[in-house]
Amino acid sequence: MAVVHRNREGDDLPYLAPVHVGEAGVQDLEVLLPPFARIEGTVRTPREDLKWSGMLRVTLGRMGYETEVRVGPEGRFVLNAIPPGEWYLAIDANLAHRADDVAFRMYVNPAPPKTLRVTESGNLPLELLLTGEAGKITGTADEAGLVTVTEASGLFSSGKVAEIAQDGSFHLDVAPGEYRVGLGAAALCSQLVTVQGGESVSVHLKACTASGQ
């Protein structure tokens, strides 16, 4: 993989080009740089009382390189000089809390894609809808212990854990998104679920062996 910087002011991300290296020795590589793109987006809220200004950050990155932008007061953001290719997309909607409720959190609903393929001609504008409502994962399990919930994309390894009650039930509040729900710390016999803000998804987890069967 060749990492090529244009060395222009404001260019945070390099162009990542696959290259073929032959026999050992010095080689001259010729990499044709495509036009870089401009990504625009808008943030909207379903209720006027959801104050999001200054709370949202949009990040694109890959292989240790990142660029980010905060959303302006009019709900618009622009990412300039984005090289074509596939980048991970991360959106942090909780850079600050509302002064009247420190426990209040914001979520993007529906959850945005975890990766964004940027084309040479640019992409359609992103539209992000914020909500103040988390989603819920509830259900029952055939055995005692823990239930682990992890992001289905696998890009982020952190997850949430819930203890299974004596009656076999469990519940977790999660941000809108796609998750794998399974038994134990290893999330065995996991099921894939999609959770929207303000909605509850119910699953039943059957007992399984250590191999996940």
Q: Could you tell me if 126 and 59 are in contact, meaning their C-beta atoms sit under 8 angstroms apart? A: no
SS3 156: coil
Handedness of CA 147, 148, 151, 153 (dihedral sign): negative
User: How many CB atoms sit inside 10 A of residue 77's CB?
Assistant: 20
* pLDDT at residue 43, rounded to an integer: 84
User: How many CB atoms sit inside 10 A of residue 117's CB?
Assistant: 10
Which H/E stretch holds residue 17? Answer: strand 15-17
CATH architecture for the domain at 135-204:
Sandwich (2.60)
Q: How far is CA 2 from CA 15, 20, 36, 193, in A?
A: 8, 10, 16, 37
The CATH 2.60.40.1120 portion of the chain extends over 135-204
Q: Which residues of 179-209 are buried (b: 16+ CB within 10 A; e: fewer)?
A: bbbbbbeebbbbbebebbbeeebebebeebe
With a CB cutoff of 8 Å and minimum separation 6, the contacts of 91 are: 56, 57, 58, 59, 108, 112, 128
Residue with tokens 């055939």: 142
Residue with tokens 């393929």: 117
The CATH 2.60.40.10 portion of the chain extends over 34-131
Q: Which of 183, 138, 146 is nearest to 164 (CA)?
A: 146
Q: Could you tell me if 131 and 163 are in contact, meaning their C-beta atoms sit under 8 angstroms apart? A: no
Task: Kindly tell me if the per-residue pLDDT of 211 is higher than 60.
Answer: no
* pLDDT at residue 138, rounded to an integer: 95
Return the percent helix, strand and coil in the chain, to nearest 5. 0, 45, 55
pLDDT digit string, tens, across residues 45-103: 776 666 666 678 889 998 889 999 988 777 889 999 999 999 988 888 776 554 445 45
The stretch 133-144 carries a mean pLDDT of 90
* pLDDT at residue 99, rounded to an integer: 43
Model pTM score = 0.70
pLDDT digit string, tens, across residues 147-202: 999 888 765 555 789 999 999 999 998 888 889 998 886 666 789 999 998 899 99
Please tell me the CATH superfamily of domain 34-131, with its number. Immunoglobulins (2.60.40.10)
* pLDDT at residue 168, rounded to an integer: 93
